[in-house]
Structure 1
């Protein structure tokens, strides 16, 4: 089974949640002896990421934090992976919890022989249902990389998980969270379970609202 580099920057309130969600995967990989590096706990620089990729050239990469159409962010101002250095992920499995990055960055990695798990739209969540959103965010990694299910089955099972969780949130009257969950599942893609499709580009507004709080990974 493949070994992993996990990247999980933390520098503001929204990234505190993604950092915590990634801890579950870090712990599972540690238990199996498959974690090579865990970058995070604060801002992460481009040079740090490139150094660790050079150190472990055969490792696959997991990323929990903000994204844009063409990049993954290590801080508010620094892109750690973008179209200029994504060749470093050629041939790798890449798993992300990052808004929008499956639009341009994902296909660029896919064209270089990699795979890309990510989102073509905003990943949003509410802080009154954190356990449910963590389950949704991490389930695909477990299906594909811990259980060893196929690309297509892992994507299908993940989308079914988002749908199930959305219905469970409806059942307890948390309609706002249910809508977020449904939209997150709709935005999920996994290149190589299917080929990239042209997506209409939309902006991503980073916000954290109250009553209930809703977070956006951007």
Structure 2
């Protein structure tokens, strides 16, 4: 049903040419299953994530993927671990659509891993129907082994932490019709190690902060 609803939403968009606003606020809690989130593979191939009913950062559900990097070669764009995508029907399409008209500013999620080194995580956003252009961001906060860690970002063209994967207007193209959320990590330090490593994801959310919080965001960017 989730996949069917996502396809219907894409059809409506192609007819009207206008992206509907994403659902706000919305939190994917993975309370009953993997919510059609995929992992590994590529953006066109659905590889279902494992789901666990309890043990997330708040005690609730979470999803996970296990990888072995014995044959992994560092270089290029880092490894994508979790995919919430329009073509997968992820989260019932609630992340899909126009984040700008919806006033979405806050994006956050919780991750955990069992490698024996701190890892640098990233998120990549792309529009409905394609995997480019993209808005990309590496988080300053490293994720330590075995600890649920919350990572968050401010969705704003003034956020200098974004790396633009496209030409002028990419921010509006991507967040004006958001289709894909791809979360991953730089696993260069794990290359060549013949061992299974597990990566977990819990509570992915978008929100529209209160006016006071928006003012704080503005001051933070102005101070850079």
TM-score tier, shorter chain, comes to under 0.3
TM-score by length of 1: 0.28
Which one has more relative contact order, counting CA pairs under 8 Å at least 6 apart? 2
Q: Which has the larger radius of gyration?
A: 2
TM-score by length of 2: 0.27
Q: Considering fraction of residues, name the structure with more strand.
A: 2
